[in-house]
Structures are given as C-alpha cells and as structure tokens.
Structure 1
Amino acid sequence: MIASLHQVMLYVDNQQEVVKFWTEQVGFEKLAENELPEGYQSVEIAPHAESETSLVIFDKAFIKKYSPMVSLETPSLMFNVNNADDLYQSFKEKGITVGELTAMPNMKVFNFCDPDENYFAVMEQL
C-alpha cells in the first residue's frame, strides 16, 4: 500500500539556474546533492527540511541519456500556502514571472514560472 508521495522529479535544461531560483528566490532549502555518472548530479530541494514531499531536479541531458523512456514533461504541481497575497507580492518584487492572482469562493490561486519556463500553481484555501 502506498503511504505518501515522497519526491517529484523535475527535469530541466539549466539545472544550476533552476536550483538557484528555487533556493534563492522561492525560499526552498537544498536537502541533498547526489553525484551521478559523467559529472551529472541530482539536487533535492523542499520548502523546509521536514517537508513530506521534495523536488529532485535533474538535468534533462542526463535523463535523455540514462532513462530515455522517461517523459521529460513538467509535472503539474500545486503548492499550498498560508497567504497567497503576500507570496504573490513577494514574487513580483523579486521579478518572478507570475500570472494573475485570482480569488474564488474557497481559494486564491496564481501561477509562476521558473527560469526554464516551467509553470507551477499556488493555492491558499480560504
């Protein structure tokens, strides 16, 4: 029986720039760096060290070479936040590309993108 979602794999063209984005601009913590063949590495990040789920960022070139059967599509991720308004404003001030902040009856949502132009969503439940 599956107990929880442990990691989400994110395959990117510019691994170093994407890791920097998530850690320096979004505020995630770097949990681990693992060496892979031919000088490649994977980098595990999460909102905080105690997070149940983390993102593991891989270079697409590594995946193409070592796991060519794996889809390189970006997963559709929705992050839960306590204050969408504050995060939205913070992202805008940092120059992060964000979509419109939309208020719905039970939630506020917006999307943002990383340097590889992968889009992710943020939701605050009201």
Structure 2
Amino acid sequence: MINKIGKITLYVNNQEEAKKFWTEKLNFVVKFEQAMGPTMKWLEVGPSENEFTTFILYDKNAMLSQNPSANVLHPSVILSTSDIENAHNKMKENGVELTDIKAMPYGKMMTFKDQDGNDYMLREDR
C-alpha cells in the first residue's frame, strides 16, 4: 500500500531564503523546482541526489491562500505509493477517512486522516 515516506512539507516565510539555508548552510541539493503559476513554485530539497525523501519548501502565505484552514505551524507529511488506486481501495475498505484521488501535473494524490483527525497526503509520482 505505502512504499516510502516521500516528502515532508516545511511551511516557510520565504522560499528563496529557505532554499539558501538548506543548500548553502546544510549542503542539501535542489531535487526539484517548478513554477506553479505566476507567483508560486514547488521547491524540493534533499541531502543528496540519490535520497528519495525530500523537504518541500512551501510558502506559508501561498498555502493559506489556497486553504485558509491549513495548519502552517507544523510540517505536512506526504507518503508515496506506486499504486494509488490500490492504496485508496484498501484504505477505504479499512474504514480510513479519505478524499478522492486527484490528478495533478506531477502525478496523482489523495489525503487521509489518522485516528486523531490529522491530515496526511499520499502521492503517486510520475
């Protein structure tokens, strides 16, 4: 069902400052960077090119404009799967509260809640 811990979102005040911190002070590398419209971008950093798990450096204000109820005070965990449809079906059978699968430019995703109502995302990357 779930193969790896894929991405952890760190909500930051300034993506460029966060990028400099992680790459210049901690020697991380930029694993992925892509514009998401005129004012936003998706930015992932990791300890090396070979490491699968990354930090997404996501602008706090951008997240709040998309989802005003988002909790930007703590990281957001994104898990990975190679078969999101199968994972969705199994979770549904197991009584997990979840959303429908959404197709995005980078792959498919859905969210689910744990026993305490905390949100997690599951992604199948292209």
TM range (shorter): 0.5 to 0.7
2-structure distance, mates of 1:3, 1:69:
29
* Stretches of 4+ aligned residues off by more than 6 angstroms: none
> Could you say what secondary structure the match of 1:37 adopts?
coil
The structure carrying a bigger strand percent of its residues is 2
TM-score by length of 2: 0.55
Cα deviation for residue 37 of structure 1 reads 2.6
* Superimposed CA distance per residue, residues 64-110 of structure 1 (whole angstroms, 9 cap, x where no aligned partner): 1112232102339xxxxxxxxxxxxxxxxxxxxxxxxxxxxxxxxxx
Partner of residue 24, structure 1 = 24
Could you report, residue by residue, the CA deviation over 1:24-63 in whole angstroms, capped at 9, with x for unpaired residues?
Answer: 0100000111111332112110000111200111111110
Cα distance in 1 between the residues matched to 2:36 and 2:70 = 17
Aligned-pair identity in percent equals 30
Q: Which residue of 1 aligns with 2:114?
A: none
1:35 is matched with 35
SS in 2 for 1:38: coil
Secondary structure at the counterpart of residue 23 of structure 1: helix
8 Å Cα contact 2:29-2:46 kept in structure 1: yes
Q: What's the counterpart of residue 3 of structure 1? A: 3
| TM alignment of 1:96-111, pairs within 5 A | none
Query: What stretches of structure 2 of length at least 5 have no aligned partner?
Result: 77-126
Within 1, Cα distance between the matches of 2:68 and 2:34?
A: 20
* Number of residue pairs matched by the alignment: 76
Contact 2:11–2:75 (Cα < 8 Å) also in 1 = no
Please give the TM-score of this superposition, normalised by the length of structure 1: 0.55
